[in-house]
Structure 1
Amino acid sequence: MKAKKLFIYLLLALPALVLQSCLTDQDDVFDSSYSDRMEKFLQQAQDTLVKAQHGWAFDYYPESNQSYGGVAYTIRFTRDNAIVRYENKPDDGEVKSLYKMKEDSGPVLSFDTYNTFLHTYATPKQGEFRGKEGDFEFVIDSIGSDCIKVHGKRSLNHMYLRKLSADAAEYMEKVTELSSIFIFSEVKLNIGGKPYTLVITDADSRQLAIYDGTTRVVASAYAFTDKGIRLYQPVTLNGVRVHDLTFDTATAKLSANGVETTESYVDVNTVAKVLGNISVSNGEKTVTKVIPYLDKLNISCDASWVHLSKEGNKLTITVDANAMATQARGAKIKISNGADEAQVQVLQFDLPALLGNYQLTMTSLVRDGGQMKFVQNTRTAKIRYVGSGNNRKYFLDVESPYGANYLFQLTYVASAHAFLMQSGQKVMTLRSSSATYYIGNAFNIDASRGTGAGNGAYNLITFNIADNGDISASLCGPLFLISNGQPQYTGLTTERIVLWAYTGEPFSQDNMAGYWDRWLNPVLTKKASGSSPAKPAESLDEHLDGGNGGAALVMPQYMPNRVARLDVDWNTFLPAWNKKQVELNK
């Protein structure tokens, strides 16, 4: 049996022995070794890169699906350094860093020394452990005198370095200028005599689609060049190769060999972003905006107190003075390109219009049939102030069933016509015969994550004015933290306001007893009402301190020592499981 097994093993090994013998006798196909050939190729690539006087234009595509679109760089090479310009930071000039030509499973151009421009999409950061999945190392696929083809080691995206014939700064200036005025949503094309529609599906991420009737035949990322736009890869439609499209700024048309534009439509949503919601005070105000290809748009407003005029690409919006100091008013500007329509709001009000009585609608704990339940309810609220001049303080006063109202101190942001509410405030004191609890507010971004006992967060409360003058505001808004004395937006939005109960002050996790209430979707509303006329030139202090037309604005004074006194079973409202949630709310 053993002899039989040995014979089988010898038979299996025989082909390998024969193959080895054949390989030993075979002559080398190449005249030089792999390492010599690699060294020669890398030297040729570097020589080509360095010889380009003005450097190279580089259409850079991060992420394997090109989901961020194409980004324009220019790179000028010396023997040791890469001098880089970046489309998104044209005013920052050039950034210089080292680079390498190396062998790493192929010939590689490596920008392995940190470059603030080139590493923008490759650097990990919070929430993006792989950055935006961009590359800083590129395998060199082919070398031409005017074009070098590479692909990203990480993304595998094919990219090209194209030799510049003029100064890199001039090239980048043309790219940024063109990208700033290319604000089209749709372009009707004639390709080889057949109609197609090019649609910008995502201008921010530079994605487009081309339709044959209602059928999508192309979906592609694109990049801006100094002459127009370039698709990630060439496509063939109706026998015509479509890759580089030249944009004529005078006629707003794209063209290429066999491609011409029959109609182009300005993106009304982009124009709405350019205009933004226009918020002005009660005095007469003129706002001027520059909008590319304004002549292709119909812009109108039905409100008699808003006036529009065009001059070239300049749109002038004039808002009449509002004679009613305590009354807000709103209107809508309509933007149409003949196919689509968008709107922007015009809001006119001053602080006096925001003060006074509101209805607060939300889902929170209320007593229903002898039990505490989370149900939608409406209660009265008031935005008011105490003091005068620089000592004036603003408060949101919210009705409660406990003998004293919730009182949130606010900071008025005049430039935004908005209020900031700070976290970790004491908004109520509750006393029974056996215990005292202090109620503090927190901002949660979901059911389990929030600011907890901290007092370093600020929630922005902004106001909306309906066309009939009704005022509304959500108490849940953008979330800010203070950095170097200035509020910095966190990129997060408050989803709910949580009221925590504490056994002492200052608030901390150690003296947190549990949650007292949760306010979901809290929205303030105030119906429009008339007021006595006021001269637009009057100062805000005159209104607030009882000047002309201001007497009705004087609010009740806050009584800081007023507390609620009632005997209840606090354990009903402070279940033990909330102590666990505290850890999640840090």
Structure 2
Amino acid sequence: MKKIFSIFAVALAAFAFASCAGDEDDLFSQSAAERLNEASDLYSSRLTAQPNGWAMQLYPTTKDEAPYGNGYLVLMRFHKNHQVDVSMNNVLTNNVYLSDSSSWDVITDDGPVLSFDTHNEALHKFSDPDDVPQTGTSDNPNDETGTGIGGDFEFIIVDAPEDASYMMLKGKKRGTYNLLTPVEEGVDYESYLTDVKGFMSKMFPANYPTYNLLHAADSLYRFDGADDGLPSIYLDGADAITTGKFNPFLITKRGQDYYLRFRDKATYNGLSVQEFRYSRDSDEFVSVDNKDVYISGNDAISFFNSYLGTSAHRWAVTVSANEDLSTLMSDSYLTIFNQISNEFKAVNKNYYIRSLSLRNDNGAIKLSIDYSGRVPARYVDYNLTKTENSDGSVKFEYTGCDDAAQKILNRVPSIQQMIDLLCSSDYSIKGGDTNFNLTNIRLTSKADANNWIIFGMK
């Protein structure tokens, strides 16, 4: 059973000694000051117990707006000589890695308090009254000058288990709770932060028109605007403005697993949750508190159809000089794609394929091939119909082309093979890598899973 040391216990012991020492001289063998010093040593040993330090989920304030209400991932390694190494990579560091060393101490101020008592370029960015980079307006570019983020540099130690499996700190002024979990030995701090930041960007990208879903038993909630870690969560179908509630979160990594943890415990459909683990098998963040609550990406099929249903949009395989096309299409597609490219070069040695895309032309679906040479870019279209099946798959059927496209088809016959392959079976649809990020869509043949192609949003 974990032995939890709390500030209440320390304060109670000190009070009991002070009030009874005169009558019971033998009750304690140490003075109050000695016991407080012992408590300081005890908590200091907890902080230094993890040789590679801690990942701190730091929330400077309880506000619901960026950048004040955001969570910040801060890595810190405490040394027995009372030096601390603090590292982070976020908006406060202009999104570059920053690491600094300074001193720390556990003081006894109505209980154990972790104090960063000399200036640290990383940690003190939360409490310094400086402007926050990348915020403000043209009229008021330095809008935080004089106040800064408004966070703490001293933290009450609330929980510190004997096994040093975690620690819970509370901001001394702002009262926010900040969880510390161990960083595994051998993990490089800069690499860890880059990894987590990359995972966050992949799962919650900023610039694409979709959303995520929080499932709570038989209830469904929209999970909007999660790219900055400050999502608005509300019942699906309800008004976002009047019913949406913000609950900031952070991503951390423990071993090979990624975790999403809300700042505040929340209740959805009567189920209380706070932390989720990402499951690669199901492509979901599943609550560690209640398996009936999980966060998923948007429905890939619906998004594919709705995006393709707009003339301004298209799904495309775009060719660039350094692009490895084997990551974008199966061997069956790649073989035909290369044949098309070679046949274009046979027509004109300067021709090359710019992209292969599915696009909407005033309601008609086109398989479009863009090609170019020393002349302006050209494209040819081949007409398709798209049927949406009851199981969520789609089926394409070729319906012909105009005379100009037919002339190209006669000279580049492998285009017909591409059309035939695309129309050969029903296709299931999911995110290229994850349904949390639908900037890329993977179409996989239901007849042969070895036939697949990934289109990107354009």
* TM-score calculated relative to the size of structure 1: 0.40
Match of 2:382 in 1: none
- Verify the 8 A CA contact 2:250 2:261 in the aligned structure 1: yes
Match of 1:465 in 2: none
What secondary structure is seen at the aligned counterpart in 2 of 1:119?
helix
Please say if 1:85 is aligned against 2:87.
yes
User: Using a 3 Å threshold, how does the CA distance of structure 1 residues 55 and 194 change in structure 2: closer, same or farther?
Assistant: same
Q: Tell me the distance in 2 between the aligned counterparts of 1:313 and 1:209.
A: 34
Please say if 1:186 is aligned against 2:211.
yes
- Deviations along 1:98-129, whole A, 9 cap, x unmatched? 22222334322111322222122222125421
Among 193, 203, 220, the residue aligned to 1:196: 220
Q: Tell me the distance in 2 between the aligned counterparts of 1:51 and 1:71.
A: 23
Q: Tell me the distance in 1 between the aligned counterparts of 2:49 and 2:184.
A: 12
Q: Tell me the distance in 1 between the aligned counterparts of 2:372 and 2:315.
A: 8
Among 168, 174, 178, the residue aligned to 1:159: 178
Q: Tell me the distance in 2 between the aligned counterparts of 1:296 and 1:55.
A: 47
CA shift for structure 1 position 35: 2.4
CA shift for structure 1 position 233: 2.3
What secondary structure is seen at the aligned counterpart in 1 of 2:195?
helix
What secondary structure is seen at the aligned counterpart in 1 of 2:220?
strand
- Deviations along 1:438-492, whole A, 9 cap, x unmatched? xxxxxxxxxxxxxxxxxxxxxxxxxxxxxxxxxxxxxxxxxxxxxxxxxxxxxxx
Match of 2:334 in 1: none
Among 254, 263, 266, the residue aligned to 1:235: 266
User: Using a 3 Å threshold, how does the CA distance of structure 1 residues 24 and 32 change in structure 2: closer, same or farther?
Assistant: closer
CA shift for structure 1 position 248: 4.0
Q: Tell me the distance in 1 between the aligned counterparts of 2:58 and 2:309.
A: 40
User: Using a 3 Å threshold, how does the CA distance of structure 1 residues 100 and 235 change in structure 2: closer, same or farther?
Assistant: same
- Deviations along 1:559-579, whole A, 9 cap, x unmatched? xxxxxxxxxxxxxxxxxxxxx
What secondary structure is seen at the aligned counterpart in 1 of 2:247?
strand
Match of 2:291 in 1: 258
Q: Tell me the distance in 2 between the aligned counterparts of 1:231 and 1:321.
A: 53
**How does 1:137-536 map onto structure 2 within 5 Å?**
137-144=154-161, 145-166=164-185, 167-169=187-189, 170-183=191-204, 186-191=211-216, 193-201=217-225, 203-204=227-228, 206-211=230-235, 214=238, 216=243, 219-226=246-253, 227-238=258-269, 240-248=271-279, 252-256=283-287, 257-259=290-292, 261=294, 263-265=296-298, 298=307, 302=311, 308-309=316-317
What secondary structure is seen at the aligned counterpart in 1 of 2:151?
coil
Please say which of residues 232-241 and 54-63 is displaced more in the overlay. 232-241
**How does 1:552-567 map onto structure 2 within 5 Å?**
none
CA shift for structure 1 position 37: 2.6
What secondary structure is seen at the aligned counterpart in 1 of 2:61?
coil
**How does 1:56-75 map onto structure 2 within 5 Å?**
56-65=54-63, 67=65, 68-75=69-76
CA shift for structure 1 position 200: 2.9
What secondary structure is seen at the aligned counterpart in 2 of 1:62?
coil
What secondary structure is seen at the aligned counterpart in 2 of 1:174?
helix
The structure having more radius of gyration, on CA atoms, is 1
- Verify the 8 A CA contact 2:317 2:328 in the aligned structure 1: no
- Verify the 8 A CA contact 2:99 2:121 in the aligned structure 1: no
- Verify the 8 A CA contact 1:63 1:155 in the aligned structure 2: yes
- Verify the 8 A CA contact 1:57 1:73 in the aligned structure 2: yes
- Verify the 8 A CA contact 2:232 2:244 in the aligned structure 1: no
CA shift for structure 1 position 81: 1.2
Match of 1:357 in 2: none
- Verify the 8 A CA contact 2:170 2:178 in the aligned structure 1: yes
**How does 1:93-104 map onto structure 2 within 5 Å?**
94-104=99-109
Task: State the identity as a percent.
Answer: 20
Q: Tell me the distance in 1 between the aligned counterparts of 2:225 and 2:125.
A: 24
**How does 1:112-131 map onto structure 2 within 5 Å?**
112-125=117-130, 126-128=142-144, 129-131=146-148
What secondary structure is seen at the aligned counterpart in 1 of 2:248?
strand
User: Using a 3 Å threshold, how does the CA distance of structure 1 residues 183 and 202 change in structure 2: closer, same or farther?
Assistant: closer
- Deviations along 1:114-166, whole A, 9 cap, x unmatched? 22221222221254212110111111122112111111122111112112234
User: Using a 3 Å threshold, how does the CA distance of structure 1 residues 249 and 172 change in structure 2: closer, same or farther?
Assistant: farther
User: Using a 3 Å threshold, how does the CA distance of structure 1 residues 157 and 261 change in structure 2: closer, same or farther?
Assistant: closer
Structure with greater proportional strand content: 1
Match of 1:424 in 2: none
The size of the alignment, in residue pairs, is 275
Letter in 1 for 2:262: L
Q: Tell me the distance in 2 between the aligned counterparts of 1:307 and 1:161.
A: 43
Q: Tell me the distance in 1 between the aligned counterparts of 2:199 and 2:222.
A: 18
Match of 2:44 in 1: 46
User: Using a 3 Å threshold, how does the CA distance of structure 1 residues 168 and 307 change in structure 2: closer, same or farther?
Assistant: closer
CA shift for structure 1 position 27: 5.0
Letter in 2 for 1:77: F
Letter in 2 for 1:133: G
RMSD: 4.1
CA shift for structure 1 position 82: 1.0
Letter in 1 for 2:99: E
User: Using a 3 Å threshold, how does the CA distance of structure 1 residues 209 and 31 change in structure 2: closer, same or farther?
Assistant: farther
- Verify the 8 A CA contact 2:58 2:71 in the aligned structure 1: yes
- Verify the 8 A CA contact 2:54 2:76 in the aligned structure 1: yes
Q: Tell me the distance in 2 between the aligned counterparts of 1:295 and 1:32.
A: 71
What secondary structure is seen at the aligned counterpart in 1 of 2:52?
coil
- Deviations along 1:284-312, whole A, 9 cap, x unmatched? xxxxxxxxxx97984688589x9943676
Q: Tell me the distance in 2 between the aligned counterparts of 1:224 and 1:176.
A: 8
CA shift for structure 1 position 225: 1.3
User: Using a 3 Å threshold, how does the CA distance of structure 1 residues 209 and 63 change in structure 2: closer, same or farther?
Assistant: same
